[in-house]
Copies of this chain bind each other. A is one copy, B any other.
Amino acid sequence: MERVFHEDTLLTGTGADCVARALFDVARDLPLICPHGHTDPAWFATDAPFADPAALLVTPDHYITRMFASQRMRLEDFGVERADGRGSAPDPRDIWRRFAEHYYLFRGTPTRLWLDITFDRLFGLTRPLSASTADESFDLISERLVSPEFRPRALFVRFNIEVLATTDGALDPLSHHRALADGSWSGRIVPTYRPDQITDPDHEDFAAGLKGLAEITGEDTGTWAGYLEAHRIRRAFFRELGATATDHGVPDAATADLAPGDAAALYDRVRRDRAEPGDAALFRAQMLTEMARMSAEDGMVMQIHPGALRNHNRKVFAAYGRDRGFDIPTRAEFTRSLAPLLNAVGDAPGLKIVLFTLDESVYARELAPLAGAWPCLTLGPAWWFHDSVEGMRRFREQTTETAGIYNTAGFNDDTRAFPSVPARHEVARRVDCAYLAGLVADHRLREDEAFEMIAELTTGLARRTYRL
């Protein structure tokens, strides 16, 4: 290279396509690091075959079922069980036909892209899914699913997964993780400590959770000190089974740093069901800081997922329960919200916090400036509704210039749909390749740098961020 600066910088952008292809040739074959997701550890512990195409790909995927709900179709017609147990489960083939007939609704969505990649790569479908190909695709996928190559462990190997984290309640006995730890299979599957039930006084099972926590740890959760100690015990238990991270779903990013006596009094009120207005929110805020303190001690990476208003449709919640696609984001604030936590523990050497958001307006305004300054903060990838082609592009365009890529966490597939794991990684890798190729074509980056960066975005950052 004869100059450190190209005269066409920012003016032409030509040649991006070749660079993008060359980058993806490298990215394609790197292993999958899956530090955050919602697959079921039982699949890998039992290695039982998956049931049928609808049960595998349609019914459990609320990205799919909510789209049908938005078009006045009934969730039970896609196999979603009613909370009252009424109604009979539809025939899987009928679900699949209904799904195929309305597959056009997903045009332009990431769901469509993930499914097409899965159909092509995993099942070898050669014709686009539609009413006219519903039966042949159902038959073909069904046939594959009964073969040994499509058992969960075989897919795990085929997908080239290096490590996969599940997300598990604080009281979960982790029996499947224990079974997997017996050494009979080499796949690396680790749990993640998710204590929302016992940190959120508004959770319907909070009281039961505190009781369970006492039983499972032997600590006296009637005291603040005992309650905190019980957390430490459970965190250690999770770590023994390979956990490197915790996860916290909260309505907002508010944190607090109360004096110990005030925190104990607050705990006493929420525990005894004598909470005053604002106490539940304050307790959640205080617990984020307490969890950060423990992370600084025990090295578990802390993930914060704020911003969803859960169960927006009360009738759907009553009829079908949680996680039915009616969780709607709200406006987010991080700058003021995180200050108490950060000023309490944010400079601790061992602390690492990964921040997520459902409100993209905070990327450039708050999150990138925070992660570009505070040593403990790392930006998690574009999340949920924003885990999409345009969403990931906006994430890169709105965070890189202030935070760089080295304060970001790599990709999370964050899915319940195991067969879509490689497709989700592939889409993210393609978007990142195109993004870096654009910078190279713009002469904002040299090609050799882009190759180093795609390896980081694909595997390096995730491994280091999550200490995997």
- Chain A interface residues toward B at CB < 8 A: 1-5, 8-14, 16-17, 20-21, 24, 66-67, 69-72, 104-110, 112-113, 116-117, 119-121, 125-129, 309, 312-315, 325-331, 333, 335-336, 339, 342-343, 346-347, 349, 358-361, 364-366, 368-375, 377, 385-386, 388-391, 397-398, 400-407, 427, 430-431, 433-434, 437, 439, 442, 444-446, 449, 452-453
Whether B326 pairs with A330 at a CB distance below 8 angstroms is: no
- A24 and B7 CA atoms in complex are apart in Å by 10
Q: Can you sample 28 A-B contacts with CB below 8 Å?
A: A1-B127, A4-B119, A10-B389, A10-B427, A10-B433, A10-B434, A11-B24, A14-B17, A70-B374, A70-B375, A107-B445, A108-B400, A108-B401, A109-B404, A128-B446, A312-B335, A313-B346, A313-B374, A325-B372, A326-B374, A328-B366, A328-B373, A329-B365, A330-B335, A330-B365, A360-B365, A368-B385, A385-B401
Bound state CA distance, A110 and B368, in angstroms? 14
Q: How far is it, in angstroms, between the C-alpha of A124 and the C-alpha of B377 when the chains are bound?
A: 37
CB neighbours (8 Å) of A325 from chain B are 372-373
Shortest Cβ distance from A378 into B: residue: B70
**How long is the Cα–Cα vector from A105 to B336 in the complex, in angstroms?**
27
Nearest Cβ in chain B — how far from A457, in angstroms? 11
Taking A9-B430, A10-B433, A11-B430 as known contacts, 16 extra A-B pairs with beta carbons closer than 8 A to each other, sorted by chain A number, are A10-B434, A71-B406, A104-B452, A107-B404, A107-B445, A112-B444, A312-B339, A312-B342, A313-B343, A313-B346, A315-B343, A364-B385, A365-B385, A369-B385, A389-B401, A390-B397
Residue of B nearest to A28 (CB): B7
A411: min CB distance to chain B, Å: 14
A436 to B400, CA, bound (A): 24
Q: List the number of copies, as a whole number.
A: 3
Given contacts A4-B125, A17-B13, A120-B3, contact A108 B69 (CB under 8 A): no
Chain B positions within 8 Å of A375 at CB level: 69-72
Which B residue sits closest to A8, measured CB to CB? Answer: B21
A11 / chain B contacts, CB cutoff of 8 Å:
17, 20-21, 24, 430, 433-434, 437
B398 touches A328 (CB 8 A): no
What's the Cα separation between A401 and B393 when bound, in Å?
13
A117 touches B5 (CB 8 A): yes
Enumerate chain B residues within 8 angstroms of A3, measured Cβ to Cβ.
Answer: 120, 126
Rank and list the top 9 A-B pairs by shortest CB-CB distance, nearest first. Answer: A12-B17, A10-B430, A5-B120, A388-B401, A11-B20, A108-B400, A361-B361, A72-B375, A66-B373
A433→B119 CA distance, assembly (Å): 28
* Cα-based distance from A72 to B2 in the complex (angstroms): 34
* A336 neighbours in B (Cβ, 8 Å): 309, 330
Determine how close the nearest CB of chain B comes to the CB of A395; give it in whole angstroms. Answer: 11
What's the nearest-Cβ distance from chain B to residue A321, in Å? 15
Contacts of A328 in B (CB 8 A): 335, 366, 369-370, 373
Please determine whether B390 and A398 come into contact, CB atoms closer than 8 angstroms: yes
Q: Are B4 and A127 in contact (CB under 8 A)?
A: yes
Q: How far is the CA of A442 from the CA of B3 in the complex (A)?
A: 32
Interchain CA distance A365-B386 in the complex, whole Å = 9
Complex CA gap A126/B108 in Å reads: 39
- Determine how close the nearest CB of chain B comes to the CB of A376; give it in whole angstroms: 9
- Which of B113, B403, B406 interacts with A444 by CB under 8 Å? B113
Of B116, B309, B373, B442, the residue contacting A313 (CB under 8 A) is B373
